[in-house]
Amino acid sequence: MKPLRFQVTPAEAGLRLDRLLTQRAEGLGRRHAAALFAAGQVWQGQQRARKSTLAEAGAWVVAQLPPSADAIADPSVPLAVVLETPRLLIVDKPAGQPTAPLRAEERGTLVNALLAHAPALAAVGYSRRDPGVVHRLDTQTSGLVLVAKDQEAFAVLLRALRAGELDKRYLAVVPSAAALAAEGVIDVALAPSGSPRRVHCAARGAPRAHRAETHYRVVERGPRWTLVEATARHAYRHQVRAHLASLGAPLAGDELYGGARCPELGERHALHASQLAWSGTATLPGFVVRSAPPAAFGALLARDD
């Protein structure tokens, strides 16, 4: 196991240590963090910490992190490259494919395909489980994923992502009965729920709540279903899904958030990452890349039953 050691800053004081640890340890999820606290592998100062322990300014936190599982290159996994430059890749992930493996031996993920395409990615990023991947998509969400091909590009693109400089747009299909306004802004905080599978809307300032803002506009209204474009520059986990559901407009096929199951979609939900754009820097050129929505979205919009 490898130790992570850091000093709590004044801005971090008062945060729960489990939340702070997931912020400080890239690639560490909430469930794995909880397991570390349960196993007594986290200390603040000279005391073993619980996940609910509050961070103290100036205190040193030490956590014994599990080694990350190295992903395996798998050339049998198809890869749809939309843009490739010497320093970055943008690929189109199909619905049903996980972005990264959960176990070292897992195959069939986007990362397995990326490593087969560009083996040097193994040395890029924070984790050898998702090397070079700047942001992820849910397994049942399709569309564009940005990947850095060297460490400097990774750092630049990650800063752009965190600063909200990446223009990330999504296409979603929601019920026409929701009667959404032509456009709008959903400014509702999101927080983990009691289930590890979903998030919920929360009051701003509530424990573990993150401010989240989604802009949307109606693209096309069909008899039964409506196509919506959503923009979320600081996308929290499940943000577009939870925000649209909060307006009574859950995604088609997204049963987790109250959406109706649709035969046209199979196991997926109707969310597609349709555009990535960035203005670039002097050393890393920008880009504008688009991906057409799946044919199933059009089939839903044409339904009148």
Lowest mean pLDDT among 117-131, 209-223, 266-280: 117-131
Kindly give the interhelix angle for 17-24 and 30-38, rounded to the nearest 10 degrees: 120
**How far does Cα 218 stand from its chain's mean position?**
23
pLDDT higher than 90, residue 197: no
pLDDT score, position 75: 94
CATH H superfamily, domain 168-276+284-302: Pseudouridine synthase (3.30.2350.10)
Which residues belong to the active site? 138
pLDDT score, position 304: 81
May I ask the CATH architecture of the domain 2-65?
Roll (3.10)
Task: Give CATH for domain 81-163.
Answer: 3.30.2350.10
Q: Quick one: DSSP state of residue 49? A: -
pLDDT higher than 70, residue 4: yes
pLDDT score, position 66: 65
Domain range summary for the chain, segments of one domain joined by +: 2-65, 81-163, 168-276+284-302
Answer whether 2-65 and 81-163 agree in fold. Answer: no
**How far does Cα 76 stand from its chain's mean position?**
25
Q: What is the pTM of this model?
A: 0.78
Largest distance between two CA atoms of the chain: 66
pLDDT higher than 60, residue 43: yes
**Digit-coded pLDDT (tens) for 242-289:** 999 999 999 999 999 999 999 999 999 999 999 999 999 999 999 999
pLDDT higher than 70, residue 2: no
